[in-house]
Copies of this chain bind each other. A is one copy, B any other.
Amino acid sequence: MKIGELAEATGLTRDTIRFYERNGLIKSEAGKQATNSYRDYPEELVFRLNIIQQARDAGVSVSDIKAIFDALDGSCDPADAKLVVAEKIAELEASKQQIESTIAFFKQQLANL
């Protein structure tokens, strides 16, 4: 699919998709037509970009997402991969705790209004 369709399907802008591609989060292929320079984005990127959005919203940095994808995409030692992912999960659990504490504090303040 073309970048505009992908943007439509994911709710991201073309610029953001290109930004992610520049940063190695996704890859596109050269289109079949020799007449233009339009890139072809595989359908499965819709799902992948949804994951990326979710992770970004969860506060995971672009470079960390890349590291995790690189680990998961099977190119490296599975044992190393597990470490990378497990560590990020631990960080996310910690973030979650911070959020919960913050919510608790705000709620308590709210009660004192």
- Interface residue from B68, B96, B110 paired with A89 (Cβ < 8 Å): B110
- Interface residue from B82, B89, B101 paired with A113 (Cβ < 8 Å): B82
Q: Give the docked Cα–Cα distance between A86 and B86 (Å).
A: 33
A81 cross-chain contacts in B, Cβ below 8 A:
113
Q: Give the docked Cα–Cα distance between A106 and B85 (Å).
A: 7
- Interface residue from B85, B95, B113 paired with A57 (Cβ < 8 Å): B95
A100, CB-defined interface residue at 8 Å: yes
> A51 CB to closest chain B CB, in angstroms?
6
Q: Give the docked Cα–Cα distance between A75 and B93 (Å).
A: 36
Given A96-B99, A99-B96, A113-B82, answer yes or no on A105-B59 (Cβ-Cβ < 8 Å).
no
Given A68-B106, A72-B109, answer yes or no on A54-B85 (Cβ-Cβ < 8 Å).
no
Q: Identify the A interface with B (CB < 8 A).
A: 51, 54-55, 57-60, 68, 72, 78, 81-82, 85-86, 88-89, 92-93, 95-96, 98-103, 105-107, 109-110, 113
Report the 6 A-B pairs with minimum CB-CB distance, sorted nearest first: A58-B102, A57-B98, A58-B98, A58-B99, A96-B99, A92-B103
